[in-house]
Structure 1
Amino acid sequence: MIRPEDLLCPRPDGLYCPPGDFYIDPVRPVDRAVITHGHADHARAGHGVVAATPETLAIMAVRYGEAFAGRREAIPYGGSFSHNGVSVSLVPAGHVLGSAQAVVRWKGLTMVVSGDYKRRRDPTCARFEPVPCDVFITEATFGLPVFRHPDDAGEIARLLASVGQFPERIHLVGAYALGKAQRLIRLLREGGWDQPIYVHGALERLNALYEDHGIDLGPLLPATTDQSKAAFAGQIVIAPPSALADRWSRRFADPVDCFASGWMRVRARARQRGVELPLILSDHADWDELTETLSELRPGEVWITHGREEALLRWCELEGLPARALRLVGYDEEAGE
């Protein structure tokens, strides 16, 4: 009888497939890797062969240079490849542009590696698709009942209301460069903000990549030093979170510091960062999305990766779902948030 551990098992380099001789999202360079999405804690340079969606490969080329791997294998959604008798297909994960779940099949056993995912609509990427499976490997970044993310439109409305309330001040929004920033821009457009949005230079290449893949971000302008401080009054500037604590942000007079992240549900984190307007916008599944996904799939086993495993393990126990924590190392719970 085939055990799930015969098909996928944790190793120091990451989640390994012995019969297929490849890793999924390895944390160190390996001969053959399947990459679920382009965030740096999942997609690293230096692998021999990288199989991923065309969008993820393009993101890795932008972030690491064209020579980020020895060879690339582009697998579009719904496509698949076989290696040593193991079949791997990629289906949308709903996390960021090009993000995928890896569906691994071998000798009648199906295991799904979710990578990072969310269930709610995102105007910048394909929506999560549930896949029936024997084993579902789920993240648990927000695997506590306290994490229930509010409606996206409501958070955008809060931001725009603040802009209207303080027309003399700039709103400086920290948002992760890949995925979160582009989603925030699109949500602002859907919320009615048709004025130019100013962006930090670190976002420009990824914004251009999203535009190249058909995501209309509207008019964007660089937040450069050759503009007077008064020119930014009443405007929205989006920058990587690190820039908010950098001297780069000091060019703006009396900004309203904002931060778009699921972690803004925790008030202490907002206070620690000096955030005046916390925006709860996450690219990860919240507690309800995690548990609803497991209820929908009802896999034979649940494996839980990086995040808060204990609460989700207990929930699975109460629901009669066999579950265990993989405790993989090398994944940053705040990456992408």
Structure 2
Amino acid sequence: MKSPTIRRWSAIHTWTSLICTLFLLLLALTGLPLIFHHELEHLLGDAPALRAMPADTPHLDLEQLVLKAQAHRPGEVMQYFGYDEDERNGVVAIMAATAGTEPNSSHTFMLDARTGEAVAMPSANSGLMMTLLRLHVDMFAGLPGKLLLAFMGLLFVIAVISGTVLYAPFMRRLAFATVRHEKSRRLRWLDLHNLIGIVTLTWALVVGITGVISACADLVIAAWRNESLAAMVAPYRDAPPLTARAPASHVLQIAAGAAPGMQPDFIAFPGTRFSSEHHYAVFMKGSTHLTSHLLTPVLIDARTLAVTAVGERPWYMDAMGLSQPLHFGDYGGRPMQILWAVLDVLTIIVLGSGLYLWWGKHRRPQTREARA
């Protein structure tokens, strides 16, 4: 006879698992190829390929690259320049009809920093990898889809914790890792479900919690805009609209002087959600593997090129910055990618076996009634 406490935990585990399982299967299946997205982009031919040139070929300055990008997509405005660690001679450009256009409606391509030649990035705009990413991030439903997946991730975390609570009394009856091969198929799957679940416990909690944080990224960014960014640009609240901006040629050198020892991650041009109507925002990152995911904004007046603020990083932006690469196993190179993939497959087995066990448990009485 189960105690009332165990019955309550069993109900929590059953219903949180059932509600989130189909969504978690979608996330696990789409997340598996995304772990190896760099490799798959090269395999599928989606990775940008720059022309071979002498190693000492100089780079154009930023304003020249801006003009090259505008010539490539006339009628659009520059939103962001980003820097790809895998391509030293490339600059990722993001443009759209207006500076405030939402990210899914923008167009991404790479500029050869030496010539300004535009190179297509299919995986950043369409194709298989982008489809998988959108399914994984928001199911093509924007913010509502992200919030739904965040809620499912929270249910998954509760299911993992409740499953751990239920496993404790189960372990008192059987030795760890016992699989009762002599018993029925359903009991064998129950033992495997429990064993794999407890082995993947830590990973499941890490991926579940980081997934919830990542799914709430839009809310986190909105909080940063309303608090930190608003405080940094407060002196410009009553400033007249920006009619002409200074060339972007030297903004990287200016930002490097304001944040010594750091290197640029991306530049947000005036009017985007990471800057203001009156500023270039250069987001600088640390030089170590950990600090490379922690970004410090340097705000530069877009008319005078004077540094007006060097932002402090609020804890929730650090949490978001650290959670996203950890969620996909981007911290430890190929060994970590392989480990993440193995644990992802094991989680798919746990989710599938949980459905099988629940279905078998509720199907058996109906079958007996039918036979009677």
Structure 1 or 2: larger strand share?
1
**How high is the TM-score relative to the length of structure 1?**
0.30
Structure 1 or 2: larger helix share?
2
**How high is the TM-score relative to the length of structure 2?**
0.28
Structure number with greater Rg is 2
